[in-house]
Amino acid sequence: MRYPDFLRTAVLLFAASATALAIVSIAGARGKDDTTLQYVALVWWAAAAAAGAWVGRRRLANRATAKLLADARTTPLLPELQPGTILFNRLWWLLLFTIAAGGVAFLVPQVPAVGAGYALAFALAWRNHSAAVVAVEERDGVRFYVEHNSPFKPTQLLRTPGFRKNEPSPTDVRVGATP
């Protein structure tokens, strides 16, 4: 699975987790007739959304992503594409987190409310990382793929040959030259 596609999918899965946790926390709070929790949760979600949007406002990859790209192993062959397996191996903990936090919604609705805020902040903070990785790929003429490995090992990338994007720079234009 290409790394930019993995990042986009991870952002969507975190947003889906935040939505699911918000729904069950609201349902749990309504079941207990706790309007205070609903208002506090809305304020927390707004603060988490603002923090995530602030952190993710730049179109640059963070240091961890830059180190992951720099440490990618080079291979001349296209790796075997297994997007479902790779997503599950890398994001199994998100599924576990969502189920565990959502499972206690009717007993302790504060837990999924807090979890929804964190998932929302993460989704908004990482929304531009895929664009930064695509820019590096186009600049260097490579493609980055997530390597299939154990779910308990750190994520590793493979670097394969790609297509370099060659565009004339604005300073290359000659005065008086015809196109």
Determine whether 148 is exposed, middle or buried from the number of CB atoms within 10 Å of its CB (0-12, 13-18, 19+). middle
Decide: 45 and 29 in contact? Cβ < 8 Å: no
166: number of Cβ within 10 Å: 7
Task: Count how many Cα atoms sit within 13 Å of the Cα of residue 51 in the half-sphere of its side chain.
Answer: 12
Report the C-alpha gap between 129 and 4 in whole angstroms. Answer: 8
pLDDT tens digits, 1-21 = 999 999 999 999 999 999 999
pLDDT in the model for residue 135: 85
Report the C-alpha gap between 55 and 112 in whole angstroms. Answer: 23
Q: What rounded mean pLDDT belongs to the chain?
A: 88
pLDDT tens digits, 33-75 = 989 999 999 999 999 999 999 988 876 667 888 889 999 999 8
Side chain identity, residue 138: E
Decide: 149 and 159 in contact? Cβ < 8 Å: no
Report the C-alpha gap between 163 and 161 in whole angstroms. Answer: 7
Position 175 pLDDT exceeds 60: no
pLDDT tens digits, 102-146 = 999 889 999 999 999 999 999 999 998 888 888 888 888 899 999
